[in-house]
Amino acid sequence: MCGCEEPRWGWGHCAPSPMLLLSVLLSAAPFGLLGEETRQVSLEVIPDWLDPPQNLLHVRAVGTNSTLHYVWSSLGPPAVLLVATNTPYSTLSVNWSRLLSPKPDGGLMVLPKDSIQFSSALVFTRLFEFDSTNTSDAAAKPPGKPYPPYSLAKFSWNNISDSLDPATMSATFQGRPIHDPTKAFANGSLSFRVQAFSRSGRPAQPPRLLHTADTCQLEVALVGASPQGNRSLFGLEVATLGQGPDCPSVQEQHSIDDEYTPAVFQLHQLLWGSVPTGFVQWRPVAFSQKQGSRESALPCQASPLYPALAYLLPQSPIVRAFFGSQNNFCAFNLTFGASTGPGYWDQHYLSWSMLLGVGTPPVDALSPLVLGIMAVALGAPGLMLLAGGLFLLLGHKRTSETNLNFLGTPRWSFLHTLGRDEGQGECWRKGPPGIAPLPLLSPFASNGTQRPK
């Protein structure tokens, strides 16, 4: 989730712990040794010969022994099917007459059926708007006075063929409400930009999520729409199919590296439970400017997933066509922004990105910049300790040698150096100036016999 609690930024109470630092250091090396997998990616708009045309985009990503099918559509509310098969030869079959009928079951299939290893769907059902003028609590639910929501099933969408770009492997669904009595969308639109990838990498724009050939990215953007309040916050309702009676699980990952998304150390993942697993991944941040930056970053929060009755959600024909009358839906709400700081009201712009894929979600390895900073931060004190230890060790050794040399000097030799009468077994003690030196009697006579006491 985008953060079910209060937004957390920077190095506050949610800053990475030393144990997290150690675990990342121990795990970074294996990920760096993994080779990147590539897929042959194709984008196709399925023809329907209808007027107006019905938007159905098929993204097919073929690997050595598998195929990923992403089917995006604006029939009803915007939705996507994700299907993974264990063969590079699986295909999508569409029966338009059945798909557009009141009972679309069986109108969309991936063949052969026994090759399917994983399948699920996401449906974007409603756009929310809240007035946050008198709301000071960023974690309040709802985050302000709610306005009537926009049902995305009642939007009119552009022809997807006009925005298809094979060079970037992307396409954009752009829509407005069919009925807009307030003229809020007279100069605005809501868009869903879909992009596929043939290999690992990062986009140029924040939040720069790490993608692989097993993922597809969606960017949702609200541009130019007139808000109903002076400080309106917007939200999005998302529904998904569970793999059983329970809703998918949500995990929150922490990182010590914010190079690609400054001041954001969390990564959220929605995981379906089957193997291979499917996932949705995002950073808890949105942006109020097209050129996303730290200054235009907005906190993103989400409600917990909750079971939702199918008949209460706008129906997606492609989901019903593929899954039949399954009703194990779960939903959650995303909310973008807070009552203070930057917001949609600045430039009438809002964008948020997520990844959708199959397998193990991408994991950020430590960047060279962070590794360099850690090397300096941890290496400099280590070198200072090492140098200090060597200095103390050498100093102690030199002192020990001096003491041994002093203690090893013969006592009588030392006294002899003060003066001795030639040929006598007597040492001489020097007295004050002008006074003759006094003899120091040796216990032995010059002939070697002991002196009488």
Domain interval for residue 286: 18-35+122-308+327-366
**pTM of the complete model:** 0.74
| pLDDT value at residue 387 | 80
| pLDDT value at residue 50 | 77
Tell me if 94 is assigned to some domain: no
User: Mind giving me the DSSP string for 297-341?
Assistant: EEEEEEPPPEEE-GGGSPPPHHHHHHH-S---EEEEEEEE--SSS
257 shares its domain with 137: yes
Domain count of the fold of the chain = 3
Helix (H) / strand (E) element for 250: namely: strand 249-254
396 shares its domain with 419: no
Tell me if 47 is assigned to some domain: no
Instruction: Enumerate helices (H) and strands (E) in the chain, giving the number of each.
Output: 6, 24
Tell me if 156 is assigned to some domain: yes
358 shares its domain with 443: no
332 shares its domain with 419: no
How far apart CA 153 and CA 268 sit, in angstroms, is: 27
Higher pLDDT, 37 or 130: 130
Tell me if 108 is assigned to some domain: no
Position of tokens 């709610």? 146
Tell me if 3 is assigned to some domain: no
Tell me if 5 is assigned to some domain: no
Res. 18: pLDDT tops 50: no
How far apart CA 282 and CA 295 sit, in angstroms, is: 19
203 CB-contact burial (10 Å; exposed 0-12 / middle 13-18 / buried 19+): middle
| pLDDT value at residue 67 | 96
136, two tokens? 């000071």
390 shares its domain with 247: no
How far apart CA 453 and CA 451 sit, in angstroms, is: 6
Give the mean model confidence (pLDDT) for residues 99-103: 94
350, two tokens? 């809002």
Res. 82: pLDDT tops 60: yes
pLDDT band with cut points at 50, 70 and 90 for residue 439: low
Length of the chain: 453
449 shares its domain with 304: no
Q: Phi first, then psi: what are they for 65, rounded to 5°?
A: -130, 20
What are the beta bridge partners of residue 58?
Answer: 44, 71
Tell me if 51 is assigned to some domain: no
Helix (H) / strand (E) element for 400: namely: helix 368-407
Give the mean model confidence (pLDDT) for residues 187-205: 95
220 shares its domain with 268: yes
304 shares its domain with 361: yes
Closest C-alpha to 286, from 341, 337, 216? 337
| pLDDT value at residue 395 | 75
CA 358 to chain centre: 17
Tell me if 83 is assigned to some domain: no
Q: Is residue 69 a contact partner of residue 111, using CB atoms and an 8 Å limit?
A: no
- What is the separation, in whole angstroms, between the first and last Cα of the chain? 102
Q: Coil, helix or strand for 162?
A: helix
Q: Is residue 302 a contact partner of residue 331, using CB atoms and an 8 Å limit?
A: no
Q: Is residue 218 a contact partner of residue 327, using CB atoms and an 8 Å limit?
A: no
